[in-house]
Amino acid sequence: MSSAVSPLAPTDVPDMPAIAGVKLATAAAGIRYKNRTDVLLALLDPGTTVAGVFTLSKCPSAPVEWCRAKLKGGKARALVVNSGNANAFTGKTGKQSTALTAAIAAKAVGCKQDEIFLASTGVIGEPLDATKFDGVLEGLAGTAAPDDWMGAARAIMTTDTFPKVATATVKLGKAKVTISGMAKGAGMIAPDMATMLSFIFTDAPISAPALQALLKAGVEDTFNAVTIDGDTSTSDTLLAFATGAAAAKGAPKISRASDPRAKAFVKAFNAVLADLAEQVARDGEGARKLVEIIVEGAKSKPSARKIAMSIANSPLVKTAIAGEDANWGRVVMAVGKAGEPADRDKLSISFNGIRVASKGARDPSYDEAEVSEAMKAQKVQIKVALGLGKGRDRVLTCDLTKEYVAINGDYRS
């Protein structure tokens, strides 16, 4: 965990309201670091439904495999998250650790092990000593309270420089419901579902299949449209929990994601996902600039996404932005290597609204001084117009600085 807060950190942190049916508690279990909170327990009322999306990595962590297996039941009573150790690439020991953690949690909460969900983040390849949770989780179950959102978000941080939280309140039927979430992520970020760890909670009454459909659709233009370094984690986990407590206030039960009564809820749900995803981009390791890449005029939206990701993941593009250099030649390179339809002589490129290249050459009105000044902004927008079709997409990334190398050069030492 870095000591200096990212200059891109949000200046306004929302007040996080309590959500009926959710209680939170954190502790220092000494998983990797001494004297810092590294365990989060979220207690969920009986009847809470759950949905999840996970990394598509072929080398997933033990907790990812555990959650995938338990998701079929559709019910959750507790979430246990630890930082400092990812419990990934840990073989049979990793599976044993998840089983022991779930057993300790189930006993502490008083529920079935199948209703316990797990997530771990930190170093890959180190065995996780689950006996450290013994006694700790029991204590947390006794002290869990509805309001410690910031403490919870801090407990799951690794190289993050600030806790990431977001919330929204919206009408479902005639009742007010709340959607709140937290996320962690700063490095090894290239979504292949969602990237990092993130947990969303709501008191809305939503069936597990409807929640799953909402979540799967919601990540596509939020977490799946963020990249820091092009490296998809072994541990990516995004879980959503719906306690259903708002049914007592008259909120209708939503059994289908397409239910027209849920339209405003879906919009608010996606806004929370988008907020958290942007905060991950803002906390990219060593980041000094938030970078928005818009590709339009592509053959299709998937084609635009591939081209945007090619630009966003280019070290040459990212280092140019770090150096406040509007090096559009590197953008041309990234478009050309993406393997998607593109026509050099129809291409135009803009930096922060200033067109620098058009029709296969430098723009006639190009002014180096004007563009250099624009590149000093904390947020840089690169817009690429391909002129081939109606496909459009947007992704977020950050610049690549010397600090990124420093953080990752001594991460395990």
- Among all residues, which ones are annotated catalytic? 195
**Residues 271 and 358 sit within 8 Å (Cβ to Cβ):** no
Contacts of 410 (CB under 8 A, 6+ apart): none
Which of helix, strand or coil describes residue 105?
A: helix
3-state SS, 282-317, equals HCCCCCCCEEEEEEEEECCHHHHHHHHHHHHCCHHH
DSSP 174: T
User: What angle do helix axes 301-312 and 328-337 make, rounded to 10 degrees?
Assistant: 130
- What is the token pair recorded at 49? 């439904």
- Going by their DSSP bridges, the two strands 197-202 and 237-242 should be labelled as parallel
**Residues 290 and 399 sit within 8 Å (Cβ to Cβ):** no
- 408 in a labelled binding site: yes
User: Tokens 């600085």 — which residue?
Assistant: 401
- 227 in a labelled binding site: no
- 195 in a labelled binding site: yes
Contacts of 91 (CB under 8 A, 6+ apart): none
- 285 in a labelled binding site: yes
Closest CA to 48 of 79, 90, 3: 79
Which of helix, strand or coil describes residue 322?
A: helix
Contacts of 248 (CB under 8 A, 6+ apart): none
Return the beta strands (E) in 124-193 as ranges: 164-172, 175-184
CA dihedral defined by 316, 322, 327, 333, rounded to 10 degrees?
Answer: 20
Which of helix, strand or coil describes residue 36?
A: coil
Q: d(Cα 252, Cα 172) in Å, to the nearest integer?
A: 7
- 370 in a labelled binding site: no
Q: d(Cα 229, Cα 284) in Å, to the nearest integer?
A: 8
Count other Cβ atoms within 10 Å, centred on residue 228.
29
288 burial (CB, 10 Å; 0-12 / 13-18 / 19+) is: middle
As annotated, the binding site for substrate includes 158, 184, 195, 285, 408, 413
As annotated, the binding site includes 158, 184, 195, 285, 408, 413
